[in-house]
Chains A and B, each alone.
Chain A
Amino acid sequence: MSTPAPAAAIRATGLTKSFRLPDGASVTAVDAVDLTVAPGEIVAFLGPNGAGKTTTVDMLLGLTSPSAGTVEVYGEAPGRAVAAGRVSAVMQTGGLLPDFTVLETVQAIAVLHGRRDRVTEVVERAGLGPIARRRVQACSGGEQQRLKFALALVPDPDLIVLDEPTTGMDVGSRQAFWETMRADASSGRTIVFATHYLAEADEFAARTVLMKGGRIVADGPTADVRAAFGGRTVSFRPPAAVVHRDGVDPAWLARVEQALAPLGVTDVELSSASLEAAFLALTSPDAGPGTGISTDDLAGASR
């Protein structure tokens, strides 16, 4: 990575994109968005389908030109920053050639960037070593997604934009993927990602930008966005003695409710840890058959 520039990683002002539909009507996909991302930030882009996330990403990458407003990446036009290898992306709509092998695909993109030297490192970082000689058409969706990630790492960009990066990955690869991204972030890479898995944003992004109908409806530290709009949840872990295979001891729960009632607490709810935690506990290589779930994992924090 080159030395951090004084310019913002992303600076968008009044960014707008309208499309004309075949019947002549026009739709505004992105509506006067102002956004500044400092170098080294990790920002999650959330929002329902059609909120304008992908269109915004396309404009950040210079793939679509704005109808109004401006966007700069490290002080340059997006197209220039992309050509210079300062920005790259895992795109939802990006595609691969089915009859290249995994390794050839990486080589092809690397040679265009003039970065043949990065091939080995990038293949290793994305965990593609074991399938390097495989044709792309024989790869699973998750493997193809990892390949796209490898391609995004080729130019060693200062800013990496990830549009639904973990689509098709199983839970294990998803965690490994975010592990890699976390290491990258700590070395100073700016990361902007859009995702449907809200938990990913929660865990990984220090800042969350919520989009709806082409506009930014919330922008701030992830914890604040969650607190301001999502309410608060208090969670605690019951003592191991009252947790059994079929759940938490109801008698003990009744006592908890009794104890909390004087404090004005109502609606005490019991939730097990996420299914994701259970899946990992059961499928991780060191999980023994039948006894894979430790009570601690299942009774863990509720959210």
Chain B
Amino acid sequence: MSTTLQTPAALVGYAALDLRRQVRDRVQMFFVVALPAFMYVVFGLGSDDPVGSGNVAMYVMISMASYGAVTATTGVAGSAAVERTTGWGRQLALTPLRPLSFIALKTGLAMAVAAVPVALIYAIGAATSASGTTSDWLLSGVIVWAGSALFAVYGLAVCLAFRSDNSVGIASGLIVIMAFLGNVFTPMSGLILDIGRFTPLYGYAALARYPLTEGWTPVDTHDPLWLPVANVLAWTVIFAGVALWGLRRGQERV
């Protein structure tokens, strides 16, 4: 047994166990799945007023799905960072698992968990009154799901920077505030909206709704496409920078 190659079977086997553990976490699943689904039902269900190429229900559905997806990736990535920096990381260091495989594994896991609220809320939307063109459905779904990866980087950054047991809670709590500022929960206007445009969730959610709204907000202001794109790119750089800084800081301390 002198050569060791990490077999895909080993990674998949570990990911399956880890996925089961995450999905069993009732508190996490409440915020990832139940809360956004509930909010869609409360705010979106039956709202048939037109928005862009669809209706308000569709608009709320996309917003809530993005909140769920983002909470999922933040939680999974954040707890991955905590696992890594606490004793379990040392336990894993005594297996053939390499750090890069660990990152790949957790990224896959975060995206798998994020797919749960997107699929569920879109299914509820489809079964009720959300309406939009086929490309609205497909494009927004893909953007919500894929874009939530940005918040995996965010979760990593916060947890590597704070390095305490409750840093996952801090990261998820901040998501709620950023969701308000980012125009995800209720339509903002005036000064709050002007400030909100610079916050991390604004660009991502606006981009996800772009196929539907083509940039119009509920208060009849208009964002050109470059604005949410620039927002997402800028925050990607910032989060990645903080994560790298946190990682390096951790290595020095060893």
Which residues of A line the B interface, CB within 8 A? Answer: 2, 61-64, 76, 82-86, 88-89, 91, 93-97, 99-100, 104, 107-109, 111-114, 116, 148, 151-152, 155
State the CA gap A96–B13 with chains docked (Å): 18
Contact partners of A61 in chain B: CB under 8 A: 93-94
Expressed in whole angstroms, the Cα–Cα distance for A76 and B1 within the complex equals 13
Residues of A within 8 A of B254 (CB): 64
A244 shortest CB reach to chain B, Å = 51
Beta-carbon contact of B10 and A96 below 8 Å: no
Question: Which A residues touch B88, using CB under 8 A?
Answer: 94-97
Is B134 at the interface (CB under 8 A from chain A)?
no
B90 interface residue, CB < 8 Å from A? yes
Residues of B contacting A100 with CB < 8 Å?
17, 21
User: Is B90 within 8 A of A93, CB to CB?
Assistant: yes
**B43-94 residues at the A interface, CB under 8 angstroms:** 83, 86-94
Let me know if B97 is at the binding interface, CB within 8 A: yes
Judged by a CB distance under 8 angstroms, whether B14 is at the interface is yes
Residue numbers in B under 8 Å from A64 (CB-CB): 254
Chain A residues contacting B133 (CB-CB under 8 Å) are none
Instruction: Give the interface SS of chain B, mostly helix, strand, loop or mixed.
Output: helix
User: Does B2 lie at the interface of the complex (its beta carbon under 8 Å from any beta carbon of A)?
Assistant: yes
Ordered by A's residue number, 23 sampled pairs between the chains whose C-beta atoms are within 8 Å are A2-B1, A61-B94, A62-B93, A63-B90, A84-B3, A85-B1, A89-B94, A91-B91, A95-B86, A95-B88, A95-B90, A97-B88, A99-B25, A100-B17, A104-B21, A111-B13, A111-B14, A112-B10, A113-B95, A114-B10, A114-B96, A148-B91, A155-B95
Q: How far is the CB of B77 from chain A (nearest CB, A)?
A: 16
A63/B93 in contact, CB under 8 A = yes
Closest residue to B90 on the A side, CB-wise? A94
CB of B18 within 8 Å of the partner chain: yes
* B18–A82 CB distance below 8 A: no
Determine whether the beta carbon of B96 is less than 8 Å from that of A83.
Answer: yes
Contact partner, B97, options A63, A84, A94, A112, Cβ 8 Å: A112
B7 interface residue per 8 A CB criterion: yes
Residues of chain A lying within 8 A (CB to CB) of residue B87 = 91, 93-96
Is A96's CB under 8 angstroms from B17's CB? no
What is the bound-complex CA distance between A89 and B92, given in angstroms?
Answer: 11
B21 touches A83 (CB 8 A): no
**What's the Cα separation between A108 and B14 when bound, in Å?**
5
Nearest-CB distance from B20 to chain A (Å)? 8
Picked from B1, B4, B14, B91, the residue with its CB within 8 Å of the CB of A96 is B91
Residues of chain B with a CB closer than 8 A to A2's CB: 1
In the complex, the answer to whether B1 meets A94 with C-beta atoms within 8 Å is: no
Within the complex, which residue of B4, B9, B24, B95 is in contact with A99, where a contact is CB–CB below 8 Å? B24
**What is the minimal beta-carbon distance from B58 to any residue of chain A, in angstroms?**
36
Give the interface centre of B18, B20, B21, B25 by most chain A CB atoms within 10 Å: B21
Task: Given A64-B254, A83-B96, A88-B94, decide whether A107 and B17 contact each other with a Cβ distance below 8 A.
Answer: yes
Q: A83-B96, A84-B1 are in contact. Are A104 and B17 (CB under 8 A)?
A: yes
Most buried by B among A2, A62, A84, A112: A112
5 closest cross-chain pairs (CB), A and B: A95-B87, A111-B13, A112-B95, A83-B96, A83-B4
Give CA–CA (A164, B171) in the complex, Å.
35
Determine if A95 and B91 form an interchain contact, defined as CB atoms under 8 angstroms apart. yes
- A111 partner, pick from B17, B90, B91, B93, beta carbons under 8 A: B17
On whether the beta carbons of B94 and A82 are closer than 8 Å, the reply is yes
Least CB separation from A151: chain B residue: B91
Which of A85, A91, A95, A114 lies at the interface centre, i.e. has the most chain B CB atoms within 10 A of its CB? A114
Residues from chain B with a CB closer than 8 A to the CB of A91 are 87, 90-91, 94
**Residues of chain B from 137 to 183 with CB closer than 8 A to chain A in the complex:** none
- Distance (whole angstroms) from the CB of B212 to the closest CB of chain A: 38
- The interface centre, meaning the residue of B88, B92, B95, B254 with most chain A CB atoms within 10 A of its CB, is B95
Most buried by A among B2, B3, B9, B91: B91
How far is A152 from B7 in the complex, measured between Cα atoms in Å?
A: 21
What is the minimal beta-carbon distance from B83 to any residue of chain A, in angstroms?
Answer: 7
Q: Are A97 and B92 in contact (CB under 8 A)?
A: no
CA A86 to CA B88, docked complex, whole Å: 20
Minimum distance in angstroms from B103 CB to a CB of chain A = 15
By beta carbon, the residue of chain A nearest B92 is A112
**For B9, what are the chain A residues with a Cβ–Cβ distance below 8 Å?**
114
Distance between B252 CB and nearest chain A CB, rounded to angstroms: 9
Q: CA separation between A218 and B94, bound complex, in Å?
A: 29
Contact residues in A for B97 (Cβ distance below 8 Å):
112
Closest Cβ neighbor of B254 among chain A residues: A64
